[in-house]
Amino acid sequence: MNTKAGMAEGNHTTVHEPVFFHMDIDAFFASVEQLDNPSLRGKPIIVGGTGPRSVASTCSYEARVYGVHSAMPMAQALRLCPHAIVRPSNMKRYTEVSRIVMGICRNYSPDVQQISVDEAFLDMTGTRKLMGIPREAAARLKKEIHDITGLTVSVGIGPSRFIAKMASDYDKPDGLCRVSPGKEILFIDAVGLGKLWGVGTKTRESLIRHHITDTVTLRACELSHLVKLFGAAQGEFLYNICRGIDSGIFSHDSKSHSISSEMTFAADVTDTDILHHYLLQMSHEVMFRALDEHVMARTVSIKLRSPDFVTVSAQKTPDEPLYSAEQVFALACELLAKKHRSFSPVRLIGVGLGQVYPGDVPQQEELFDSGYKKKRKLEQAVLGINRKKGGSVIKASLLETPDG
């Protein structure tokens, strides 16, 4: 297990200071494939389709050393790493493993915010008497997840969700990094401008053109100057991030029950086919989480974020109840078509289910009789079979080849 803290590690956190963990499963999809097929361990794995317009959903660390990354066209990924082994996406299996990991996380905190199939925030504030000091609790969490699932995770600890997220990214894979209260700026300077979360290649190039080459120089800029250069949203974000201030990007209202997933791309995405690929992947993820939790939802939403941190969202509540991932995907694509025309490129995309309520049948079910009801029963059956078999049974064809 890697551990990094250095000058970001301070005195022990007091009982009442805010403490957040960010748990990130390392190379999740590829790691599950290697877990289910031990012969793949230590080899470059790319998860995605094989069609002419297929996309690499994720890849193992062995493939990443060749420059492969998520959302990359599969043809390009295979040019970079021609000996890679391509495995089709199996969201049902990934969701089942994710359920186990998230269940372990909920044994450590009463407030777990799952933001995707492989990431979650744990609010550990006030848990020290029960769980011990943060670093020891995080180490136990990592060990328990590995002992039960065979997967490694990276955990970041910080006084805010934003710092915890950056801390987990700073020390991957199998890492544990703690940033103590008051050490945020030291940590930001250690990360450096080139690896600050949310600062992409185009933003860095623009900063350099304005002679802003490191976090110290960025911190010397007045807010009004950054807003003038980059606009209100991105200017305020840059002003806050170089000071380690949480801008509320990962804000969480624990009172509102929703199920969502989001994906931040390594590079800006303009290709609608790539966006559709991830909408389908996330539609299956959120629906299988809803099935697993025995809940129904009334509303589908999407979220888009641009490279300059402008965020838009849209939602729709259909007349029919939401029975299947196919239905969620269709509504998400409809919402994307309305927003994407005037909102490109995209740096982050998300899908969510809202107005969630307990049960496996919709309210006023007798009013509806659609094919989606049969699809939900099929998906429930597949989820049950996957649990018994512990592996792949049925895969969504579009997850394998976005062009169908």
Which residues are catalytically annotated? 119
Angle at CA of residue 216, ends 213 and 221, nearest 5°: 85
Closest CA to 203 of 70, 308, 71, 344: 308
At 246, is the secondary structure helix, strand, or coil? Answer: coil
The helices-and-strands tally (H runs, E runs) of the chain is 16, 15
Contact 118, 26 (CB under 8 A): no
The values of phi and psi at residue 401, to 5°, are -140, 105
Annotated ligand binding at 118? The verdict is yes
The values of phi and psi at residue 125, to 5°, are -60, 130
Alpha-carbon distance 333 to 375, whole Å?
19
Strands 299-305, 346-354: parallel, antiparallel or unpaired by DSSP?
antiparallel
Alpha-carbon distance 402 to 348, whole Å?
19
Contact 88, 105 (CB under 8 A): no
Contact 353, 300 (CB under 8 A): yes
Overall size of the chain counted in residues: 404
Annotated binding site for Mg(2+): 24, 118
Annotated binding site: 24, 118
